[in-house]
Structure 1
Amino acid sequence: MEKKNYYSISENSIIFLRKYLNSFSPSGNESQGQEIWKKYIHSYVERVETDLYGSAFGILNPKNSSYKLIIEAHADEISWFVNYITKDGIIYVSRNGGTDHQIAPSKKVVIHTEKGFVEGIFGWPAIHTRKLSEEKNPNIDNIFVDIGASNKEEVEKMGIHVGCYITYPDEFHIMNDNYFVCRSLDNKIGGFIIAEVLKMIVKSKIQLKFGLYVVNSVQEEVGLKGAKMIAYAIKPHIAIVTDVTHDTNTPMIDKKIEGDIKCGLGPVITYSPSIKKNIRELIMNTAIIKNLPFQRLVASRYTGTDADVFAYSNKGISSGLISIPLKYMHTTVEMVHKKDVELTIQLIFETLKRINSSIEEFFIC
């Protein structure tokens, strides 16, 4: 068995991860997942706060306002809205975030109502009834949800109306001992990572010379909105963001365009105009010194993550991005490699230790 020189996920941590991933956190309605996350970190911080729109953060060493550092992930998952109900009780949908219409047919769904959850399915005409010469692909204008109702009145009696959230119920499992599989790994795996980093700092009894803000932002999937509010509220000097990126070794992806990234080979460090060079070099040099494998990726204009928001907020925030390779983004079978998760936790932890030991080198006040 390979001997690890880095953090290893415990059984207790897996219990939290399972519960957290199985909770519902659609963009704009993330409270169920956020409550689980806040409860998990509560004993490791001096204060836990939630802002107006639901972004949650724990603070370690809050009295130090001269140096503020954020480690951040986003808590929301893609979903659907009820958009239209036909007289026959069929439900048509609208996107909430970048939800993939092509994976919808034959998927189970959960509709969120004030009366509770209502189960449904994305139906699709049987192959026997379709003219293959006139084959239609699933699209936003033809996919639909069937809840077994006979008419619109039955649908409404169940508490369903235009605007109800619709999520997929697929739950967490571990495949072949190596891969975590679930919907919403984008980016609840980031929320798990920053919580574990926090635990490591506390259990290592490191005396921080800066205020550490462990942030789980909302509404990233609909425009990086939670991070925008957090950046202006906390006004950090440094932000280290963790999110997911594409494993480009899966079929039908052009590496010449998307880069060469593979699950199991370590976290991904990104080059982009929004990434501050000294923070990026700090992260990479830390990985090299600590013998932690990592991968490199280029995002030529923007990263598409909350790192872009932090970089250009206030007077500018020194920002870095550490990403987890992910297979099948925005589906219900997203996959990340356990080793990449463990390496990322160790890398962020070691990076914070280096910042702590040379604090004036990295903070611009």
Structure 2
Amino acid sequence: MVTDDMTAGRAGPGGEPPHPSGAGREPQPVAAPAAEREEPAGESRLIGFLRDLTQTYGPSGREEAVREYIRARVEAWADEVRVDALGNLIARRGPRGGAAPGRGGGSGRRIMVAAHMDEIALIATHIDEKGFIRVEPVGGQDPVILMGQRVEFAGGVIGVVSSEKLDGARDLKMGKLFVDIGAASGDDARRSVRVGDMAVFHRPLERAGRRLVAKAMDDRSGCAVVMEAMARLEDSPHEVFFVFTVQEEVGLRGARTASFGIEPDVAVAVDITLAGDTPEPEHRVAVELGKGPAVKVKDNSQIAHPLVRRWMEGTAEAEGITYQLEVLPFGGTDAGAMQLARAGVPAGTLSIPTRYAHTPGEMVDAGDLEGAVRLLVAMLQRPLPEL
């Protein structure tokens, strides 16, 4: 989920860093490959995807490790897999059961399903002679949340976020923050981190019953849902493009270019939304954890197209899948970019309720994830309603 500043085009200092982390070496995934890690006993494939994805390094503009993890698994469930010029991973699956895709006749349509691979980050802007690293945000960040957090640069360099001496809490601004990696000097720090390197939150996935907590649920939970839906989908009358997009957190960039090239008839983003069930002075969002996935009605990037809403809600009701309706007063998703492709595309969002978005402790419910998978699979097996 992108913040309002990013949907308005103020993408800040994000984008491709000028150098990879370290002296001429390519960054490596933070997490060990899945084959080298032990899966907890009884863990489902869906939760296994989520565990691996949330622990893989992938800030905006540097999604390579996430993309390769996904690609290695979805190739078995697609007819064609490719990477476009911006770095989006596009897995195409042709119609099954004899229905041909079309733009004017027949039940089959060209559908784009998007989930973004990138996560929010900090980018190194200056390293002083004592080895402290000045940073700026890549995507929406709150300096209050950042204070004291552990972060990880590509290659596994761990640091702690701290700040200059403050006159008071109101004095805490992004420009006051720095990252301490324990370096003895500027030269020592520059052997591990260079200007332009990015750091992401350092936090393992933890589970308490049905609740799962990790960094990067936004939007690795969406990626996991789409991957699992691909694995379960059998027959479909549609030509479906499953797109794992780049740079959503800095302005919906990957979805914009991918949808222009694919030119879908209909588009659906799979992303998180804020749960409004925590203690607040007023109830702003009527979405709760554990009550099922949400069908977005509106956010700051789009008003969901009536056709897509009827498709999503009608499918959920026909299949007996519990769902919620969501009106988010801020933020946006890839649907906001996809709806503006070429002459316009009917678009909507299948949302995963999430507490504490854009923090290292984003929380989702396993039942909501399963419901999102079931709804997405059922949608892709049905014809679209008429406008």
Same fold (TM over 0.5): yes
Range into which the TM-score falls when normalised by the shorter chain: 0.7 to 0.9
Alignment partner of 1:90 is 2:122: no
Q: How many residues align?
A: 334
SS of the residue aligned with 2:258? helix
Q: Secondary structure at the match of 1:141?
A: helix
Structure 2 residues without counterparts, runs of 5 or longer: 1-41, 103-108
Q: Is the 8 A contact 2:95 2:237 kept in 1?
A: no
1:106 Cα offset (Å): 2.0
Residues 11-30 of structure 1: CA deviation (Å, up to 9, x unaligned): 23332321121101100000
Q: Which residue in 2 is equivalent to 1:264?
A: 290
Q: 2:275·2:285 contact (CA, 8 Å) conserved in 1?
A: no
Cα shift readout 1:106-131 (whole Å, capped 9, x = no counterpart): 2222123xxx3322211358xxxx79
Which of 246, 250, 266 is matched with 2:274 structurally?
Answer: 246
Structure 1 unaligned runs (5+)?
1-8
Runs of 4+ in 1 over 3 A off after TM superposition: 62-65, 133-138
What is residue 277 of structure 1 aligned with on the other side? 306
Match of 1:231 among 256, 259, 271: 259
Which of 326, 329, 332 is matched with 1:297 structurally? 326
Give 1:37-52 correspondences, 5 Å limit: 37-52=70-85
2:32 maps to what in 1? none
Contact 2:89 2:245 in 1 (8 A): yes
Distance 2:139 2:63 in 1: 13
- Report the AA paired with residue 247 of structure 2: Q
Cα displacement (A) at 1:38:
1.1
Q: Percent identity?
A: 26
Q: What SS does the aligned partner of 1:269 have? A: strand
Establish whether residue 16 from structure 1 lines up as the match of residue 45 from structure 2: no
- Structure 1 62/265 Cα, relative in aligned 2: closer, same or farther at 3 Å? closer
Alpha-carbon offset, residue 303 of structure 1 = 6.0
In structure 1, C-alpha distance between the alignment counterparts of 2:49 and 2:310, rounded to whole Å: 32
Of structures 1 and 2, the larger Rg is shown by: 1
Task: Tell me: CA distance 1:200–1:134, structure 2 relative to 1, closer, same or farther (3 Å).
Answer: closer
- Deviation of the 1:139 alpha carbon: 2.2
Q: Is 2:246 aligned against 1:209?
A: no
- Equivalent residue, structure 2, for 1:161: 194
Give the structure with the larger helix fraction.
1
Contact 1:105 1:138 in 2 (8 A): no
Residue 311 of structure 1: how far off its partner (Å): 1.2
Instruction: Tell me the alpha carbon deviations over residues 311-355 of structure 1, each in whole angstroms, 9 at most, x when there is no partner.
Output: 121111111211111000000000001111111111111122222
Where 1:41 maps in the other structure, the secondary structure is helix
TM-score by length of 2: 0.81
Q: Does residue 1:312 correspond to 2:340, yes or no?
A: yes
In structure 1, give the amino acid aligned to 2:312.
I
1:30 is matched by which residue type in structure 2? E
Shift in alpha-carbon separation, 1:76–1:134, aligned structure 2, 3 A:
closer
- Give the superposed CA RMSD: 2.2
Tell me, in whole angstroms, the C-alpha distance in 2 between the residues paired with 1:62 and 1:135: 57
Q: Secondary structure at the match of 1:170?
A: coil
**CA separation in 2, counterparts of 1:62 and 1:295?**
29
Q: TM-score, normalised by structure 1?
A: 0.85
User: What residue in structure 1 maps to residue 162 of structure 2?
Assistant: 123
Cα deviation for residue 74 of structure 1 reads 0.8
CA gap of 1:135–1:248, structure 2 versus 1, over 3 A, is: closer
